Amino acid sequence: EAGVTQSPTHLIKTRGQQATLRCSPISGHTSVYWYQQALGLGLQFLLWYDEGEERNRGNFPPRFSGRQFPNYSSELNVNALELEDSALYLCASSLQGRLSTDTQYFGPGTRLTVL
């Protein structure tokens, strides 16, 4: 069974540009989560999508946004990039996100570098 996939693996942008990151969940999973792993800041929850809708959002500015498509894949968009947005962005998926016991399975991540 294929795991969570993310593309691209690496992304280099300059300050002020926009970045788009993509995620495909494990087959059958309907929930997708996005996390930011920046140096020294640990894993920070960004967004949760379930059944096509945004269900929860972390403490990030509105320039971080995303969506979930009918096939449950997801896209994270970061507008007006700042240097501190440089991080590893991890996507996770789960089978039943509205269950507190649900396990999240992670993809390999996209390394975003902002110059």
**What letter does residue 83 receive in the DSSP assignment?**
G
- The answer to whether residue 15 forms part of the interface with another protein (CB under 8 A) is no
Instruction: Identify which of residues 20 and 58 has a Cβ nearer to another protein in the complex.
Output: 58
Instruction: Identify which of residues 15 and 98 has a Cβ nearer to another protein in the complex.
Output: 98
- The answer to whether residue 56 forms part of the interface with another protein (CB under 8 A) is yes
Distance (Å, rounded) from C-alpha 7 to C-alpha 108? 9
Distance (Å, rounded) from C-alpha 13 to C-alpha 88? 14
- The answer to whether residue 108 forms part of the interface with another protein (CB under 8 A) is yes
Distance (Å, rounded) from C-alpha 31 to C-alpha 99? 11
- The answer to whether residue 27 forms part of the interface with another protein (CB under 8 A) is no
- The answer to whether residue 7 forms part of the interface with another protein (CB under 8 A) is no
> How far from the centroid of its chain's Cα atoms is residue 40's Cα?
19
Q: Which of 45, 65, 79, 113 binds another protein (CB under 8 A)?
A: 45
- The answer to whether residue 23 forms part of the interface with another protein (CB under 8 A) is no
Paired sense of beta strands 64-68 and 53-57, if any: unpaired
Tokens 């140096």 identify what position?
39
Q: What is the binding site for another protein (CB under 8 A)?
A: 4, 6, 33, 42-43, 45, 48, 55-56, 58, 90, 92, 96-109, 111
